Amino acid sequence: MKFLVTGSAGFIGFHLCRRLLRDGHAVAGLDAMVPYYDVRLKEARHALLREHAAFRPRILDLTDADALRGAMEAEAPEVVLHLAAQAGVRYALEHPESYVRNNIVATHTLLEACRRHELKHLLLASTSSAYGANASMPFRETDAAATPLNIYAASKLAAEQLGHSHAHLWKQPVTAFRFFTVYGPWGRPDMAPFRFTEAVLRGEPIAVHNHGRMERDFTYVDDLVEAVVRLVGAVPETGRPAAACDSVSPAAPFRVVNIGNARPVPLLDLIAEIERATGREAKRELRDMHPGEAVKTWADTSLLEALTGYRPRTPIGPGIDAFVAWFRRHYGI
């Protein structure tokens, strides 16, 4: 098949492109190379993808409607996987405008470009942050998502709503998947596994927010990619639920799907795994809760399993081992 992947130089986008290429598909990768973190890491990911003859990279900004339309016409994809976004909860406190532009405006521009083509499926990346202040655990796709705690979450919820409207108006199937704290080799430098590992290996202190009283549903990147690949074929149909837990819309070929490990991991356990994998002790600086963050995330993956027969299973220990091994190789530490 012919795929178009936005955010192809990003952490998840890179892994997804690599999997699709290995499976024999043609992949057009779009990325703006935004310097939110070290662009050299993004360039290194793209360099590996360029080794595949079936990969066609395009460096462009998704808010550039003319350039995006041209790319869509030239590539004529059958499936679009929209992973490009401004990520990060804490960055949103200082740069909220970036989230409006790169998560809302860019998604709208992409949807407008997509409606000129007959796609088999359009899949959008969202976030577990969409559940906001919800107290009921684990988070289910049928739960209300009306209490975002930060601009990042609000912008991704807006992207989901744009996707639903698009699916309703143009009858183009759309799936929005909510990722739960993805980690693994080639991970993002702003996320805890990367930041903590780098600090521990360099003998620097790590900031432990809420005094360590936090839990995250850490999801290994290979598990997430497997789930996304399987969801490509799980095309939603208006009002035709696949299971009792289905979130499919009664008004559009649209659904939301959680992708998580369904096992919350205490922050202190993550740190302990990093200490074990590196063979070094972390210097901890206990701090208060950071504004806009949730204390705990926990995915209900019943719908994912009903749709695909699969759910992520990699425990945090082996996942951290793989990440630390990559980190040491890549950075020579």
Residue 169 falls inside a structural domain: yes
Residue 130 falls inside a structural domain: yes
Region of 292 on the Ramachandran plot (φ > 0 left; ψ -120 to 50 alpha; else beta): left
What pLDDT shows up at residue 291?
Answer: 86
**Domain that residue 56 falls in:** 2-183+221-260+299-313
Residue 195 falls inside a structural domain: no
Question: CB count, 10 Å around CB of 135?
Answer: 8
Number of domains forming the structure of the chain: 1
Q: Cα separation of 125 and 231, whole Å?
A: 12
What pLDDT digit, counting tens, does each position of 244-279 carry?
999 999 999 999 999 999 999 999 999 999 999 999
Residue 120 falls inside a structural domain: yes
Residue 92 falls inside a structural domain: yes
Task: State yes or no: is 36 an active-site residue.
Answer: no
Catalytic residue among 152, 183, 220, 310: 152
Residue 288 falls inside a structural domain: no
Residue 280 falls inside a structural domain: no
Nearest C-alpha neighbor of 308 from the set 245, 238, 242: 242
Angle at Cα 279 formed by Cα 44 and Cα 329, nearest 5°? Answer: 20
Residue 210 falls inside a structural domain: no
What pLDDT digit, counting tens, does each position of 43-102 carry?
999 999 999 999 999 999 999 999 999 999 999 999 999 999 999 888 888 999 999 999
Nearest C-alpha neighbor of 315 from the set 200, 215, 217: 217
CATH number where 131 lies: 3.40.50.720
Q: Cα separation of 250 and 167, whole Å?
A: 11
